[in-house]
Amino acid sequence: MNPYRDINDEEWQRIAPLLPELRPRSELRGRPLANTRSVLNGVLWVMYSGATWSAMPRKYPSYQTCHRRFKAWYESGVLKRVMEQLFGAASEELCAMMEARMRTHVSADQKNVVAAEKAPALATPTAHTPAPAKPLPSSPFAFTSPFKHAA
């Protein structure tokens, strides 16, 4: 595989129709939608580099945005069609690597769930009487309060 580069205009023209249109927000509040081409470049950078999402260069939109769209595109099959259009036969290798990484993260999450289920449940607090306080050992530096009344 070649080293990663952002997709050029000709490649964008081929794959743009494959990507779903995002509906603009009905309210004019919040951040504007990130550029789909920039998001795709960020997703492809992560896939090629094998780096974590949070290690994405700043020239791409936030890694949270890229990861969220990656998951949506992956689950809907859009990403696989885009990869086939861009890379042909090499797309299978790239998709296989990404799926292996996803399974690794999923299996780690499943291990955490199983470990949590096996861990003993925390005891529920019940009303109980406190244990009697132990007397403090006498100290040579014992302090007697002048306000304490002697009986």
3-class secondary structure, 130? coil
State the DSSP H helix or E strand holding residue 11, giving kind and residue range, or none if neither.
helix 9-15
Q: CA dist 96 to 48, 86, 109, 123, 128, Å?
A: 12, 16, 20, 45, 58
State residue 125's pLDDT score: 52
Q: Is the pTM of this model over 0.75?
A: no
- Tokens 């132990």 belong to 134
Per-residue pLDDT of the chain in tens (151 residues, 90 and over written 9)? 456 788 899 999 999 888 887 766 666 677 778 889 999 999 989 888 888 889 999 999 999 999 999 989 888 888 888 888 888 877 777 777 777 776 655 555 555 555 555 555 554 455 555 566 555 555 444 445 555 555 5
Boundaries of every domain in the chain: 9-15+32-118
